[in-house]
């Protein structure tokens, strides 16, 4: 089964980091957020990826190509052009990655539609955003999708509030104060599983979260996998700093060894 990663958007709220580096390459603990995401899926046996590239997509290609060589012990025979020999392979990842240019400003649904040919004949495929991490059990997610028979599954999560909340008594006294609690509402956290018939709901530049998901919902073909564990997305530089703090303490999304 293949996994589509949406990593073509602009990191407009990441300041200077989002203008010179694609958001997918912003680092957490010295590794791009995209690397962390691929490690999550690979842990559950999904190692065939399709990257939907857009803004600064060449940087993402270059990162993986260069690191493929930099991680090896090689010999170079300079008397014979381009004669390289790998002496020792130090790679720990056994991934297959398709890098697909899906347009500079293409919307999310359009990006998925444009990589349809890379899915092959698979009946199911996964899709997720390149800026969000979670400790979702991908195998349980896929099993859940297969159990209900609908065309689409999304992972529903409880977001963390951007602000602390207070409970006030009638006289204005603060009876409860909680800093940035987890909210009770559910939101779309990505980590989708789609039947290939979902491609029929997409066009070349649609917004996945608008017409396609709204139509699937109206036809009762969309269901939520309710995830109550860790989930966080990276929209701002502050989010990146928080991700690094979590990595250095609990690394909640690190499901691999």
The model's confidence at residue 90, banded by pLDDT at 50, 70 and 90, is: low
pLDDT in tens, 38-81: 999 999 999 999 999 999 999 999 999 887 677 777 787 777 76
Asked if residues 8 and 103 have their Cβ atoms less than 8 Å apart, the reply is: yes
Using H for helix, E for strand and C for coil, what is the string for the chain? CEEEEEECCCCCCCCCHHHHCCHHHCEECCEEHHHHHHHHHHHCCCCEEEEEECCCHHHHHHHHHHHHHHCEEEEEECCCCCEEEEEEECCCCCCEEEEEECCCCCCHHHHHHHCHHHCCCCCEEEEEECCEEECCCHHHHHHHHHHHCCCEEEEEECCECCCCEEEECCCCCEEEEECCCECCCCEECCCEEEEHHHHHHCCCCCCCCCHHHHHHHHCCCEEEEEECCCEEECCCHHHHHHHHHHHCCCCCCCCCC
Domain boundaries in the chain?
2-247
pLDDT in tens, 179-223: 776 778 899 999 999 999 999 999 998 999 999 999 999 999 999
Phi, psi of 75 (to 5 degrees): -115, 145
> pTM for this one?
0.88
Architecture (CATH level 2) of domain 2-247: Alpha-Beta Complex (3.90)
């Amino acid at each position: 089964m293949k996994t589509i990663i949406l990593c073509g958007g602009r990191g407009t709220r990441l300041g200077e980091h989002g203008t010179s580096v694609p958001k997918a390459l912003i680092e957490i603990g010295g590794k791009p957020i995209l690397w962390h995401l691929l490690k999550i899926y690979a842990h559950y046996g999904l190692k065939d990826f399709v990257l939907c590239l857009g803004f600064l997509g060449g940087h993402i290609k270059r990162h993986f190509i260069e690191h493929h060589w930099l991680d090896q012990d090689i010999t170079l025979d300079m008397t014979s052009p381009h004669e390289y020999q790998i002496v020792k392979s130090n790679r720990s990842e056994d991934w297959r990655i398709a890098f697909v240019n899906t347009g500079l400003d293409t919307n999310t649904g359009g990006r998925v539609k444009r990589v349809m040919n890379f899915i092959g004949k698979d009946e199911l495929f996964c899709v997720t955003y390149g800026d969000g991490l979670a400790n979702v059990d991908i195998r349980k997610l896929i099993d859940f999708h297969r159990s209900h028979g609908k065309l689409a599954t999304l992972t529903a999560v409880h977001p963390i509030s951007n602000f602390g909340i207070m409970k006030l008594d009638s006289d204005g006294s603060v009876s409860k104060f909680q800093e940035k609690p987890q909210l009770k509402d559910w939101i779309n956290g990505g980590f989708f599983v789609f039947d290939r018939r979902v491609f029929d709901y997409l066009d070349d530049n649609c917004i996945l979260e608008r017409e396609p998901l709204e139509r699937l919902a109206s036809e009762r073909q969309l269901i939520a996998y309710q995830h109550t564990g860790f989930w966080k997305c990276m929209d701002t530089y502050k989010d990146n700093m928080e991700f690094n703090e979590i990595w250095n303490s609990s690394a909640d999304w690190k499901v691999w060894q």
